[in-house]
């Protein structure tokens, strides 16, 4: 909070016998800090009593509020509202206690309010120009006292000074002048008292604001300035900061972080209060914030024509942890999400998570996306959770495979053999369909007579033509001169499209030439397995 305005009084307002609410335009911290004065038609002031004569609204507002007076002030009366903060200091800051900036700031606000209050009172006092020295002031007071001994009605005399000769002749009026002189003398004494009090209050306020550290404010019985407490608070802060740094530096080192380890964090939603957060929650936050799905392990392995195992692993899918600590053995029937196992299909293998306790298991589906998986009740299949592929042959059995990371090897399967020129997209035998992978391709070419030439090429499906410069392609060529027959072979990886197709090309000069194509596995490059 701050005190941004010098306004410390409102009014006077005229009463009309109807209006009860009168606005004040300055900030107060408590209802008792507002003084309400009612002046009757004769000019007599009455200080009203809080809660008995009036109530206050707008406490704490920078723009003030209202005093609600009951009953409504009568017509001909006036209402004046003043800032009235007690001249006491009630803020108790304990030695080496917690530093609350709001408490110190409120104490400073009260000091400013008292200064404004004193300024308002001094503005209503009779003052002497600052250029007057003490001798002049003493002479002025002596002159006033002398005049009080000699007659009254000084104001009347001053107003009619040009008529002094006439006034001198009016002896009957002298008693009235003597009475007015006595009043002037009284007001002069009151003004001198007010000036003294104002000077003392100003000095006290300055001491409260700026006295050096450990120098008490005079006459307060051991109270100190705001500057003093600022220095004490700074020393405590430095001591605490150095202590915390020392604790951290001297703490025993922890070799490995586990999910249950705790970190300190300030909670912005709870007023920046200090709370603890688990290491596992930090990982979850990073994964969700970055949209990062990843895992290690969970490698499928061929067991037999109807069963596989999925090795242990850990992963974060959809911001949630999935983990198994031992291999999981499953048959195709146990893995399948719905229906019966079908022949010549590509099945997508997913990690799934039990909502109740986070248990991890696996499911197999014809769906190429997590959203299309039919999940058991109480389980979820989250983004990026595909851990592998399983292919069935024409008999509905698993095509044997050997997998390391995302590299899958199979037996060598013939794709096609041709003795004529050909080109176009085609799906290799026993490779995934419905997902792009890098397929291992083997090519054999051969010629049987002199002058024959045979070229076989396989390239990325996305290239649509090997001549456009595919990122990956495998090329094999056989041709003969005088030394025939001639035979060559080549192997490499090429990338299929989402339909499982590759681009193939064959050029021959004779039907006696032949090109044979084979596949023996793939690399599952879109699987989110790390270090694979």
Residue 383 and residue 317 in contact, taking contact as beta carbons nearer than 8 Å: yes
Q: What angle is formed at CA 298 by the lines to CA 296 and CA 301, rounded to 5 degrees?
A: 135
- CB atoms under 10 Å from CB of 206, counted, come to 13
Residue 111 and residue 209 in contact, taking contact as beta carbons nearer than 8 Å: yes
pLDDT at 484: 46
Alpha helices (H) along 46-133:
101-123
For residue 407, what are the β-bridge partners? 404, 523
Q: In what order do the strands lie in the sheet with 328-331?
A: 300-304, 307-310, 328-331
DSSP assignment of 399-457: PPEEEETTEEEEEEEEEEEESS-EEEEEPPTTS-SSS--EEEEEEEEEE-STT-EEEEE
Q: Report the sign of the C-alpha dihedral through residues 456, 459, 462, 465, in that order.
A: negative
**C-alpha count within 13 angstroms, C-beta hemisphere, residue 256:** 2
| CATH architecture of the domain formed by 412-523 | Sandwich (2.60)
* Residue labelled with tokens 């001591």: 239
Whole-prediction pTM: 0.53
Distance set, CA 128 to CA 39, 141, 188, 244, 497 (Å): 29, 11, 10, 59, 99
Residue 434 and residue 506 in contact, taking contact as beta carbons nearer than 8 Å: no
Q: What is the pLDDT along the chain (532 residues), one digit of tens a residue?
A: 677 777 889 989 999 999 999 999 988 989 999 999 999 999 899 999 999 999 999 998 988 999 999 999 999 999 999 999 988 877 777 777 777 777 777 777 788 778 877 877 777 776 777 777 767 777 777 776 776 666 555 566 556 566 656 656 665 666 676 677 778 888 888 888 888 888 888 888 888 888 898 898 888 888 998 899 899 899 898 888 888 888 888 888 888 888 888 888 888 888 888 888 888 778 777 877 777 899 999 999 999 999 999 999 999 999 899 999 999 999 999 999 999 999 999 999 999 999 999 999 999 999 999 999 999 999 999 999 999 999 999 999 999 999 999 999 999 999 999 999 998 999 999 999 999 999 999 999 988 888 888 899 999 988 656 555 556 788 888 887 644 455 678 899 999 999 999 999 999 988 888 899 999 999 999 999 998 6
Percent helix, percent strand, percent coil in the chain, to nearest 5:
30, 35, 40
Write down the domain spans for the chain: 9-123, 134-210, 211-253, 258-290, 297-399, 412-523
């Amino acid at each position: 909070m701050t005190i941004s305005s010098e306004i410390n009084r409102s009014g006077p307002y005229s009463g009309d016998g109807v209006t009860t609410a009168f606005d004040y335009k300055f900030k107060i911290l408590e209802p008792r800090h507002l003084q309400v004065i009612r002046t009757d038609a004769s000019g007599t002031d009455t200080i009203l009593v809080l809660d008995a004569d009036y109530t206050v609204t707008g406490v704490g507002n920078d723009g003030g509020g209202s005093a609600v007076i009951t009953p409504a002030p009568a017509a001909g009366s006036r209402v004046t509202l003043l800032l009235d903060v007690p001249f006491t200091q009630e803020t108790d800051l304990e030695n080496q206690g917690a530093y609350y900036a709001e408490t110190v700031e409120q104490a400073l606000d009260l000091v400013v309010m008292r200064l404004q209050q004193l300024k308002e009172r001094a503005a209503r006092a009779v003052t002497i120009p600052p250029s007057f020295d003490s001798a002049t002031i003493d002479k002025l007071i002596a002159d006033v006292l002398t005049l009080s001994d000699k007659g009254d009605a000084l104001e009347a005399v001053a107003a009619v000074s040009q008529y002094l000769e006439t006034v001198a002749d009016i002896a009957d009026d002298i008693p009235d002048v003597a009475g007015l002189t006595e009043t002037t003398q009284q007001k002069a004494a009151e003004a001198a008292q007010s000036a003294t009090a104002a000077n003392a209050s100003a000095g006290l306020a300055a001491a409260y604001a700026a006295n050096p550290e450990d120098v008490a404010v005079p006459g307060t019985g051991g109270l100190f300035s705001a500057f003093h407490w600022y220095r004490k608070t700074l020393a405590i802060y430095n001591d605490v900061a150095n202590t915390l740094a020392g604790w951290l530096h001297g703490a025993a080192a922890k070799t490995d972080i586990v999910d249950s380890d705790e970190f300190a964090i300030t909670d912005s939603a709870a007023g920046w209060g200090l709370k603890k957060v688990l290491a596992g929650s930090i990982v979850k936050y990073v994964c969700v914030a970055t949209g990062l799905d990843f895992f290690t392990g969970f490698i499928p392995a061929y067991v037999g024509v109807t069963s596989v195992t999925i090795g242990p692993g850990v992963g974060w899918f959809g911001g949630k942890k999935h983990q198994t600590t031992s291999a999981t053995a499953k048959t195709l029937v146990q893995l399948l999400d719905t229906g019966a196992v079908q022949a010549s299909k590509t099945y997508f293998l997913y990690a799934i998570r039990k909502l109740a306790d986070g248990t991890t298991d696996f499911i197999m589906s014809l769906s190429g996306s997590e959203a299309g998986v039919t999940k058991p009740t109480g389980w979820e299949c989250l983004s990026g959770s595909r851990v592998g592929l399983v292919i069935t042959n024409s008999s509905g059995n698993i095509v044997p495979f050997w997998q390391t990371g995302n590299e899958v090897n199979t037996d060598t399967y013939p794709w096609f053999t041709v003795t004529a020129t050909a080109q176009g997209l085609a799906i290799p035998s026993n490779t995934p369909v419905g997902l792009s992978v890098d397929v291992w391709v083997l090519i054999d070419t051969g010629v049987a007579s002199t002058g024959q030439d045979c070229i076989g090429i396989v390239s990325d499906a996305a290239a649509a033509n090997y001549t456009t410069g595919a990122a990956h392609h495998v090329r094999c060529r056989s041709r003969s001169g005088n030394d025939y027959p001639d035979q060559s072979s080549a192997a490499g990886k090429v990338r299929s499209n989402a339909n499982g197709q590759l681009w193939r090309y064959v050029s021959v000069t004779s039907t006696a030439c032949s090109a044979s194509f084979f596949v023996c596995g793939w690399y599952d490059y879109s699987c989110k397995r790390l270090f694979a």
